[in-house]
Amino acid sequence: MRTLTAAIWAWAATTMLWVVPSLAQGQAAPLYENPPGPALNLYGATGLIDMPTAEHQEPDTINTTVSYMGGPATTVRTTVTFQITDRLSGSFRYSSIDNYNLPGNSTLTRFDRSFDLRYRVLDEGHRLPAITVGLQDFAGTGIFAGEYIVATKKITPELNLTAGLGWGRLAGDSGAARNRRDIGRGGVPRAGHWFRGAVRPFGGLEWITPISGLSFKAEYSSDTFAVERERGGFRHRSPINTGLEWNRGGAVTYGLYHLHGSSLVFRASLSFNPRRAPAPSGLEKAPTPVFARPRLQPGWRFDTGWKNRPGINAMVRKDIQDHLKPMKLQITALKITEDTATVYLRNPTYRIPAQAVGRAARALSRATPASVNFFRIILTARGLPVTSVTIRRSDLESLEYDPDGAENLLARARITDAPARPPDGLEYADGRFPRLRWFVTSSLRTSYFDPDAPVRVELGIRAGAAYHIAPGLSVSGSILKPLAGNLDNITRGANTSPGVPQVRSLSARYFAEQGPILERLTGDYLFKLRPDIYGRVSGGLFETQYGGVSAEILWNPANTGFALGAELNYVQQRDFEQRFGFRDYRVLTGHVSGYWDWDNGFAGQVDVGRYLAGDAGATFTLNRRFRNGWKVGAFFTLTDMRAEDFGEGSFDKGITLTLPLSWGIGTASRTGYTTVLRPLTRDGGARVAVKNRLYPAIREADSRAITRTWGRVWR
C-alpha cells in the first residue's frame, strides 16, 4: 500500500502540473485538444494490455502511467515513458510486488526499478505492418526482463491487429527461470541473455468502438507471471486478457482489465507533449514599437551635438532603463558614442534570449539620440558578458513589419562572442556595485526509491543573500530550516564495503538534522580570459555535505556547438550539523568535460575524471532540450569501483526532468522545477555540487541559443 499511495500521489502531482496552469488561465480546453496517440499497456509502454505493440507515440510525447493489480501478489507499476525520436522510446519504471516470498519463508514487498528501450525498424505501409524491437527491464534486477519483436497493422481506422514473439519474461516459465538468475544486485545490462532461450508467440487486437473515447482490447499473453506465481501466490488460469479503455480526449486515459482469468487491473495514464503548452504563449505585455527616426534629405546627417551635454550618459542610461523596466529587463552598463550604443543586458525574465534582444533593441530605438545607428547588445549571465549582438538601427526600422523581418534581420545582424574586457568608457548603472540582494522562499527536498518509503518529501523555508562586490565577484549563501516531511527518518544504512569511503551513503545523517542548517556559503569569481574562454574560482561551503575550493576553465567558441572544460576541486566532508565544522575525510577531485549541442535539440556531455570516493571513470549524459524550456535527459556513470562495492544498482544512473513555469502559465519566466530520478544514492560516481558551474550558466545566453530562437525577436 505504501507504493500504491506514492504512485497515486506522483501521478496526481503530474496531472496537476498540467491542469492547474490551464485552469488559472481559463484554458482548460487545450488539455483535451490533442488527438489521442496509440494506446499504452500496463507497463506504461505503447501496447495492448500487458503485451507490446509496434506503434509509437508522437515524437517528444511524455506518458506517465500507474497500474494496480490486486490479489495475493498485489502489483503496482509506475512508469514514465519518453518518445525520444520518431522511432526510439525509453521508459523508467518503479514497481512493487506484495507478499514476495524469499528463501527462508520471509515475506515482504519487493520494490523494483527497470528501464526499457523500443525501436521501430519498419514503418507501416499499404501491405506491410509496422515492426518494433524492444528490450524490457534490460538494466534492472530482471524480474520483468524480456525482449520482443512485434508487428502491428491497422486493418481499418477502428481496428488494429498485433502479433509478436517474446523472450525472457515474455516467454513464460523458461524466461522466468532465466530472469531468476538475473535477480540480485541489478543494474547491469546482460546482452548475452537477450533474444536467447525459449520463445513464445503473443498477439491481440484493439477495437475503437462507436462510443466516443471507448475502446476494447483483447490479447493472448505469453507472460505466465512465473515469478509472481512462485513467490507471491498469483493465480494464472488463462492466457487471455481483455479490457476496456476510456480516453479523455487524448490526455488522460483510464482502463479496466481482466487478466489471466483471475485478476482485475486498473490503469490511469496522462500523456502530453512538451511542445504543446496548456496555456498559449505570449500572454505577457507586448513590447513597445520601434521608434522610427525621420527620413533625412540627401546629404543631411543627424545632429551629434548631444554628446557635449553634461551627464548625457546617465540621462540616456536612465531613459533606456525606464523603457526596459516594464519588460523586466535590466541594463547593467552603457557606453554611447556618436553612432553606437553598447549596452550590457541582464535578462532575468525571458527564457528565449532572442526575445530579450528584440525588446532591448526597441527600447534603444526610443531612448538613444537619432545619430546612433548601431545597437550593440551584450547579453550577460552571472555577471559574465557572453554574447554580443550588433543590430543596425535602420534595419530595425525598415524590417519591423516585414513578413520575413526576423529572417532578414538575422542575416544582417552580427552575433559574436562578447569581448573579455569591457570597452573604454563603459559606465555601470548607479548602485550596481556593490549591491546586496536577498530572498526568502519555500524549500522542497525529495528522495526517491527508498524501499521503506519510495517517495520522501520535506518542506521547509530557505533564506539567502548575495553580495555583489564587483563584476563577476560575489559572496552568497543560504540557510535552510526544514518544517515538515519524512526525509529525516531514513533508516537505510551507509555503504559498508571495505575501502569505500562513505561520501554519499551518509545522506540520511545529514537529512536527520532539523535545526536551521547553513546550506551554502561561498565566494565566487567569474571572469573571461578571452572572448571564448571563461574562468571560475570558488571557495567555501558548496553544499550541505562538502566544502572546499574549486577552479574551472571553459572554452566555448561562438557558433560551433562544441565546448571543452576542466574543473579541479579540493573538498572536505562537512559535519552532520551542517554549520562550520568538518569531518576528517578530504579528497581531490576533478574532471575534463566535453559538451556537444546539436541543432535538433539534443545535447550531449561527457565528464572524465576522479570522483568523491577516489574512483576514476566517466559520466555520460544525453539531454533533449525544447525551446520552451522543457528538458528531459538521462545519464550514467562508470568508474573503476566494482559493482559489488557500489552496492545495489551496480553503477550510478538516472533521469532528469525540467519543467518550466512559463510553459504552464503562458507568460515569460525563467523559473522552473528540476528533479532527478536516481534509483539510489550510493558512493560510486559521486560529484560535489558546485553552484555557478560555467557551461550551464552561460549556455542560455550563448550565440547558438540566440540564433536558434531568433524567430521570436519581434515578440
Mean pLDDT of 607-618: 96
C-alpha cell at 268: 490511469
**Does residue 696 have a cis peptide bond before it, meaning omega lies within 30 degrees of 0?**
no
pLDDT at 283: 78
Question: Do 247 and 190 have their domain in common?
Answer: yes
What tens digit of pLDDT does each residue of 564-601 get? Answer: 999 999 999 999 999 999 999 999 999 999 999 988 88
pLDDT at 576: 95
- pLDDT band at 233, cuts 50/70/90? confident
Mean pLDDT of 454-475: 92
Please say if the pLDDT value at position 445 is more than 70: yes
* Rounded Cα gap, residues 395 and 397, in angstroms: 5
Whether residue 76 is contained in a domain is answered as yes
pLDDT at 179: 46
* Rounded Cα gap, residues 676 and 221, in angstroms: 34
Mean pLDDT of 13-36: 45
Q: Which of 564, 584, 588 shows the shortest CA–CA distance to 575?
A: 584
Question: Do 482 and 629 have their domain in common?
Answer: yes
Please say if the pLDDT value at position 234 is more than 50: yes
Span of 276-285, 643-652, 676-685 with lowest mean pLDDT: 276-285
* Rounded Cα gap, residues 705 and 615, in angstroms: 35
Mean pLDDT of 652-656: 89
Q: Which of 657, 653, 662, 565 shows the shortest CA–CA distance to 609?
A: 565
- Structural domain count of the chain: 3
Question: Do 553 and 512 have their domain in common?
Answer: yes
Question: Do 421 and 509 have their domain in common?
Answer: no
pLDDT at 244: 96
135: CATH = 2.40.160.40
Question: Do 376 and 452 have their domain in common?
Answer: no
Q: Identify the domain boundary among 431, 458, 491.
A: 431
* Rounded Cα gap, residues 469 and 215, in angstroms: 64
Whether residue 497 is contained in a domain is answered as yes
* Rounded Cα gap, residues 568 and 553, in angstroms: 9
What tens digit of pLDDT does each residue of 667-676 get? Answer: 888 888 888 8
Whole domain around residue 66: which residue ranges? Answer: 34-272
- pLDDT band at 232, cuts 50/70/90? low
316: CATH = 3.30.300
Question: Do 409 and 466 have their domain in common?
Answer: no
* Rounded Cα gap, residues 679 and 115, in angstroms: 11
Please say if the pLDDT value at position 326 is more than 80: yes
Question: Do 331 and 442 have their domain in common?
Answer: no
Instruction: Name the β-bridge partners of 570.
Output: 549, 588
Span of 478-492, 533-547, 550-564 with lowest mean pLDDT: 478-492
What tens digit of pLDDT does each residue of 148-200 get? Answer: 999 999 999 999 999 999 999 899 854 444 544 444 455 677 777 889 888 99
> Torsions phi, psi of 655, nearest 5?
-125, 140
pLDDT at 262: 86
518: CATH = 2.40.160
Of all residues in the chain, what percent carry a pLDDT higher than 90? 59
Q: Identify the domain boundary among 431, 457, 483.
A: 431
* Rounded Cα gap, residues 360 and 705, in angstroms: 17
Whether residue 710 is contained in a domain is answered as no
Alpha-carbon distances, residue 37 vs 166, 271, 384 (angstroms): 24, 8, 45
Element (H, E) at 75: strand 75-83
Question: Do 50 and 137 have their domain in common?
Answer: yes
Please say if the pLDDT value at position 9 is more than 60: no
Question: Do 330 and 223 have their domain in common?
Answer: no
Q: Identify the domain boundary among 215, 250, 272.
A: 272
